[in-house]
Structure 1
């Protein structure tokens, strides 16, 4: 059973989330990842305007020609961060690297199908398809299935 208690007061300056549990299971791990992801904000530029983006809303991050891009459901934003920096920042979230130049948010993966040579094709909830290279397939399956 889960009991949720919320204590809101103007006296608090920060948000504190305390989880008391007998053990951390898959459901709880997923919830913790979801909470963490909702508090990670990134800056992306679109049409010469800077936007504050919540990581959870991003479908994937891609690096092309030494430039990094964030993709949400419909819009593309450019970032000054490198892919490896984002991978480190997002490591305890549903994001996972699936190729040399792409990190995907597994929360938006609708389904996956096997391709030849150990690769997978992942279809995102916005209809886009991304390829999981075989080198990253095992880590992707572990993250996606958990």
Structure 2
């Protein structure tokens, strides 16, 4: 790894030189992209800029979008599909009609009898991967 640190640089620039992008490198690239994206959330009449890397999952209930971090819940004005587009090149993936999850915060997954999966997050919460989304979820989570 080569790191050049100098006060002459105004911005951080990352260059990756490789013969091909394998699964491990692809995950690293997603992680780097994810650290620079933020979403705006509101809690107790205060607005916060939330680093996407700190988000566990995002859910829509009764046309209201909620952002979940390790311990807090925020409201968001964006529709879930807009957030999904913004996070398309990150570790987030849709796992239900009203739910997208950050696969970087998944601790384990187990299959359920009805074709669904249950994902246990690192904060001990559990989310359900609906049957319709299982194939894409497995590809993204296991890659």
Whether the TM-score (by the shorter chain) exceeds 0.5 is yes
Once the two structures are superposed, residues 30-75 of structure 1 have per-residue CA deviations (whole angstroms, 9 ceiling, x without a partner) of: 1000000000011111111111111011000000111111100000
Distance 2:51 2:5 in 1: 23
Q: Which residue of 2 aligns with 1:48?
A: 45
Q: Give the SS at the match of 2:12.
A: coil
* 1:30 counterpart (27, 30, 39): 27
Query: Displacement of 1:8 after TM fit?
Result: 2.6
CA RMSD, Structure 1 to Structure 2 (Å)? 0.9
Task: Give, in whole Å, the separation in 1 of the partners of 2:14 and 2:104.
Answer: 22
1:114 matched residue in structure 2: 111
- CA drift of 1:10 comes to 2.9
Match 1:102 to one of 85, 99, 104: 99
1:85 to 82, 85, 92: 82
Q: Name the CA distance, whole Å, in 1 between partners of 2:14 and 2:45.
A: 36
Q: What are the ranges of 5 or more consecutive residues in structure 1 without an aligned counterpart? A: none
Structure 1 residue 113: deviation in Å? 1.0
Aligned to 1:60: 57
Please list every run of 5 or more consecutive structure 2 residues that lacks an aligned counterpart in the other structure: none
Aligned to 2:114, the other structure's residue is in SS state helix
Matches within 5 A, 1:106-145: 106-145=103-142
Which secondary structure does the structure 2 equivalent of 1:111 belong to?
Answer: strand
Please give the alpha-carbon distance, in whole angstroms, between the structure 2 residues aligned to 1:79 and 1:9: 38
Q: How many pairs are equivalent?
A: 143
